[in-house]
Chains A and B, each alone.
Chain A
């Protein structure tokens, strides 16, 4: 098995969850209605918890730093999250659409990892799957309601979709060594995951009256998996790590 590629695979999966979890948490006390405030806080808690469990596998199995150190004390260029998750929340339309695009991708990724021969990762995938079901249900409900809502809500969801589509495709940027992992049956290729993802979301978008993009004509925003990020990641990492940087030995 190409161990370093597997480590990078786990790291990028964790980094996506950590950063999007942090973005979700920014809705705390700012949600448009209290139920949505709670929904985004809960999903944030799930995602950060999942990231922690993945970092813990890197720590215990591969000798990486402690999960807190990994999460908060890396240089920006060492994060391998896709740029989609770094973008500011924008309006609720943008946040919902990102949540929809991301969680469907996460769902197909987790389903593919359930049979991963590296057991610690398969075990986590089996666990996270049940949690992400609720995230997907939540996203689907809102995409349907707002897509089929008023002209204004529909237009706003369409704009959010069109803006985020190139970033969403960046979730499927292959990491170095992926080919080898795929050939060894460790992971499913990003190309296959993307196809499964499109097959899952296109009918939901259509039912919501939204025009699914012509995915093949969109240039994906890539680079995140190699440590190239948008201008938004550095300030986000600074904010996440603010307390820990003041006192790295702090007891919570």
Chain B
């Protein structure tokens, strides 16, 4: 019988369609995985944003990945029982976000202010001589910034709180 750990490992290859290097596990979207005596698997997933348009796609991808392990009965529940916030992104996930060309979100203490959003480190040259252009970007999770040092516009995976 497949173990919970094997499912966690399989889900580490299910990518966020908007940042296809970042898995749903590194993103912190997978709340829990359980397998009952009959071998049926249940995966609890929480969206990054209430209006995330990719959630149905992600749900299907998670289901497919678990089915591929040979599990016959798979239930993927999407809910807000646990509320995602950007501190749930793993260290590995932060490195992957930077590698993808986005500034990773700073770890926050549950409070976001304009100060937190200014002077974000540029993912290209690491300078903090940067300015936020707008807290909204091409996807719900990104803000747009400009680096005064290397004269490049860049995006940040923005810090989001919950609770």
Contacts and interface: CB of A to CB of B under 8 A. Distances in A.
Interface in A34-52: 35-36, 38-39, 41-43, 45-50, 52
A131 B112 CA distance: 10
Contact of B135 (A120, A123, A124, A138): A138
A129 B137 contact: no
A133 interface: yes
Nearest to B112: A133
Interface stretch (B11-19, B48-56, B63-71): B48-56
Contacts of A137: 112-114, 117, 135
Interface of B: 49-53, 79-81, 83-85, 112-114, 117, 133-138, 140, 144, 158, 160-163
Contacts, number: 82
A130 B160 contact: yes
Contacts of B140: 42, 45-46
Interface residues of A, number: 30
Contacts of B163: 114, 126, 129
The 4 A-B pairs at the shortest CB distance, nearest first, are namely A49-B51, A130-B161, A42-B136, A49-B50
16 contacts: A38-B134, A38-B137, A49-B50, A52-B51, A120-B80, A123-B80, A124-B50, A126-B80, A126-B83, A127-B50, A128-B50, A130-B83, A130-B85, A130-B112, A130-B162, A137-B114
Contacts of B134: 35-36, 38-39
A52 to B, nearest CB: 7
